[in-house]
Structure 1
């Protein structure tokens, strides 16, 4: 297996008013391609903050994150956005579905940067939604879906892009 993600001496501190809150410090680990890794802890212990840093949505206070040989901290905001669009799939606690879009539209949107025509995007989105048992819910809006179905749409939105790395925040919460 080849090295996919390397974290060295990672720390994150938030400054609030006249105090600072150290979320975590000196965290180091490696993840190889094909591995499944779980970050476990109580609420408020920095798991979501860690995932934000690993995805390039947040910046660490100290340390280094190397993804596929590239240091995230040396990348620009637009380079990080491109990295997420091409290689990192994210499933958030709140799912972040667009309420005015159907299930299939929420999944299709992720593929727009890929240069696919609308028919290809639709077919790929439908295939992933069907694989997750949502074939009868393609044209439903998030408000018409159960929480579990909404979560599966969020998972489909991540899987449709064939990411190299999937970061899931509380994937077993629902």
Structure 2
């Protein structure tokens, strides 16, 4: 499948796209709009995933960036967060969102590849890690097909940081995945 090339850039706090990042992330993760794609968490969580202040905090993080991917029309098609860990050898990959109406079309593969390139070449890290809610077998399998390994490590789900909503289950936690770059 051929997907048109994307244009990548790093979000800045004054960027007019900050609101678009917020809208994209919310639409891809939770709520009815997320059901248009295959990565929805709407059956697990009834909240907004992140707020405007949270997006700004990620953009302003001294060792992190939000990478934005625009399509050929200039529309924001996807985004992700990269955060260099204190050891300097590992980056966290998160806040990955692809427009739910455009999922399963190759955009996610392009963005993940660019995120890995950026993490290795610009952040100077050797490995990338991510956390995925343990129930998301299909999503975990997608990452495994792209070279990630599901580790035995788990991390608690941050129930206390839900944004304007609630969890629909009380047994959530994160499975950790890693890849050498």
Shorter chain as denominator, the TM-score bin is under 0.3
Q: If each structure's helix is expressed as a fraction of its own residues, which one has the higher value?
A: 1
Task: Specify the structure having the higher radius of gyration (Cα).
Answer: 1
TM-score of the superposition, structure 2-length normalised?
0.27
> Which structure has greater strand proportion?
2
